[in-house]
Chains A and B, each alone.
Chain A
Amino acid sequence: MSTEAPPLSEPLEIQFDYTRSLGPVLGRFMTGLAERRIEGVVGSDGRVHVPPVEYDPATAAPLRDFVEVGQEGTVLTWSWCADPVAGQPIQRPFAWVMVRLDGADTAMLHAVDVTSPEEMHTGMRVRVRWADEPVGHIRDIAYFLPVDAPDDNPPTSPAPPRTEHDGIMVTPIAASYQHTVSPEESRYLRALGEGKLIGQRCPRCEKVYLPPRGACPTDGVPTTTEVELPDTGIVTTFCIVNVPFLGQQITPPYVVAYILLDGADIAFLHLVRGCEADQVRMGMRVRAQWRPREEWQTSMRNIAHFEPTGEPDAPYESFAHHL
């Protein structure tokens, strides 16, 4: 019976600032927002679209005829968001609405700040609450309020950044995940935490994979048999990094190499140090240099780098099929 611990799992936060060119239609709309003005575009049938669309939804004609619309509007439908998620306009329970601004024929999606769903009804009148410092972004409309409600200050999400160029909007997108590694990777990482290198052998083609992959990419069958590998091997191929880049942790030049451990069938990327960069060769024998034991984690970072052993190089034919 297996009493294995569940797979390793860690929170993972990813973030990227999406920078988008706006073009003539959305550019004009966003520029208007920065000046606390809302403009729609007149469609082929005379309907006013807010937010503006670049092409008429029915005729596909390019639309360039702008018209300013009101900053009050009518709620066409609403829903209650009892548990807001990060990034939403209001960070306490609020209503989502489709609101048709006065002078517009289409509705826009936005948020209304009220304290309970009892204060909401279809047909109610709402007004724009502008962001304190508009930057030319949809979030310049901070949220909506019932027309007769005083300005308030609900908790909001951070405002998007101001951009230095016209016609550009920047939207930071951040997302949180619980990242889980596979059971095979978990055993591999836990073994690394004890200074051991655990690979897996495919039951069909007998290739040994390190890191283990869960399934053999050739055969598509689970790789089940564990194999402990030594911390010695060869450089199959390598490159010398001469170019500095953001986040670089080692001063160039340095060598990044594919290391094929003795007994493994797949190479992995690591650093080669302990000799001049121009001394590294294909086929060179290397051994892992482990960090001090007290720094070990469940990570390949426990191996600081690989260093030449001084043994004779492996002949090219012995590793050519791994290139």
Chain B
Amino acid sequence: MNRVSVVGFAQSDCVRNTHGTTNGVEMLVPILAEAFERTGLSKEDIGFWCSGSSDYLAGRAFSFISAVDAIGAFPPINESHVEMDAAWALYEAWVKILTGEADTALVYGFGKSSAGTLRRVLSLQTDPYTVAPLWPDSVSIAALQARLGLESGRWSEKDMAEVAARSLADARGNPKAQRSGDHSVAELLDGPLTADPLRAHDIAPITDGAAVVILAAEDRARDIVPTPAVITGIEHRVDSPVLGARDLTRSPSTESAGAAVGIGEVDVAELHAPFTHQELILREALGLGDGVRISPSGGVLAGNPMFAAGLARIGEAAQRVMTGDAGRALAHATSGPALQQNLVAVLEAQA
């Protein structure tokens, strides 16, 4: 069977607040151009388009329709959208190529998280009958999860601070990062509790941004770039939406997706963990040992553009493979409260 490879990736700067519209056009136009330039492709070469974004985040209906302006959709194109992180749009595009309906696809995600109150908007992802009417903000839900792990001894505040310190240090090498810096664990632990038991360093920043990934059928990919990153497996799973029915200190959906993908040995793993303790949950669920380099980009603690950050993890992992930094890389994306839904992909250098 023909496989699917990543051949291009571009992302916008991660910033706290853009002057742009919530339909993402201003963030998308330059990175679409960048992705086309890097691959030598043009819009006429793209067989399928798929995006991820959210109208609740944008505060307007059909915001993704306006974003289609950025890609030039006349004459009509073969286009689709998911109201999810664009990592799931990539999954749809992957299926489209596997079925032979297209041999190239462009996937993009965008989010202007700064337009509303992000942690409040995200509470609308929860059960609309018994949970969302309470407006449980995303930070508070993650904090409930963090305490469960802290008090059961599954992780410590120091473990969490170590995740933040490593991420911010790595982000110094990422020009797109919103936050970076050299911080000792002790210094981070001296910070106040902002959402007890979380400190500011435990929480991903509020970020406006966008990302683009170009896919191609394996047999076309090497005509486009010298070393495509072939997707050897991609799977996604979901846990119960009932928060009280889940063991929030574990991520069965990540574990199951990872098992289905067949992770094997990877050099690098780009994890979508908007809270420090969630990286600890993910590393365990995926069985990532000390030898695996975790989120060398700095991860989403360095910049978390909603609905694009998961796609950007796939792009970052693919970039490592395409440049030869990694032979085999894992990418993970999450969606929903407290790691409810998870996607795992493994990429390796196309022989």
A residues with CB within 8 A of B: 6-7, 9, 12, 14, 18, 20, 22, 26, 29, 49-51, 53, 57, 76-82, 85-89, 96-98, 100, 106-111, 117, 122, 137-139, 157, 160, 169, 171, 173, 175-183, 185, 213-222
Contact = CB atoms under 8 A, between A and B. Distances in A.
Given A171-B133, A178-B115, A215-B70, A79 B144 contact: yes
Max chain A CB contacts within 10 Å: which of B43, B72, B119, B240? Answer: B72
B59 A180 contact: no
Contacts of A181: 21
Interface string B120-132: 1100100011111
Contacts of A22: 129
Interface stretch (B6-14, B135-143, B156-164, B308-316): B135-143
A18 B21 CA distance: 27
A217 B243 contact: no
Given A160-B133, A169-B129, A57 B72 contact: no
Classify chain B's interface size: 35 or more
Contact of A85 (B70, B115, B137): B137
A80 B21 contact: no
Given A57-B245, A179-B22, A79 B196 contact: yes
Nearest to A49: B245
B261 interface: no
Contact of A80 (B22, B43, B193): B193
Contacts of B119: 85
B115 A177 contact: yes
B40 interface: no
Nearest to A7: B19
A4 B117 CA distance: 28
A217 B115 contact: no
Contacts of A177: 22, 58-59, 115-116
Interface in B29-71: 29, 32, 43, 56, 58-60, 68-71
Given A97-B144, A175-B116, 18 more contacts: A12-B59, A57-B240, A57-B242, A76-B148, A77-B145, A77-B148, A80-B196, A88-B135, A96-B143, A109-B136, A138-B134, A176-B117, A177-B22, A213-B69, A214-B21, A214-B69, A215-B70, A216-B69
B74 A217 contact: yes
A57 B72 CA distance: 45
B72 A215 contact: yes
Nearest to A221: B72
A214 B26 contact: yes
A175 B121 CA distance: 8
Interface in B175-202: 193-198
Given A12-B59, A81-B140, A85-B135, A215 B25 contact: yes
Nearest to B112: A180
Contacts of A80: 143, 193, 195-196
B302 to A, nearest CB: 24
Contacts of A111: 134
B260 interface: no
26 contacts: A14-B59, A26-B129, A51-B130, A53-B245, A77-B151, A78-B144, A79-B196, A82-B194, A87-B133, A87-B135, A96-B144, A106-B244, A107-B244, A109-B244, A138-B130, A139-B134, A160-B133, A177-B115, A178-B114, A178-B115, A180-B21, A180-B115, A215-B25, A216-B69, A218-B72, A220-B70
B20 interface: yes
A84 to B, nearest CB: 8
* Top-8 shortest CB links A-B: A220-B72, A79-B143, A177-B59, A80-B196, A107-B244, A87-B135, A85-B120, A51-B130
A280 to B, nearest CB: 29
B22 A89 contact: no
B236 interface: no
Interface in B319-341: none
Max chain A CB contacts within 10 Å: which of B56, B196, B244, B248? Answer: B244
A32 to B, nearest CB: 13
Nearest to B134: A89
A85 B74 contact: no
B120 A117 contact: no
B73 interface: yes
Nearest to B129: A26
Contact of A180 (B19, B134, B143): B19
A60 to B, nearest CB: 12
A157 B134 CA distance: 9
Contacts of B70: 214-215, 220
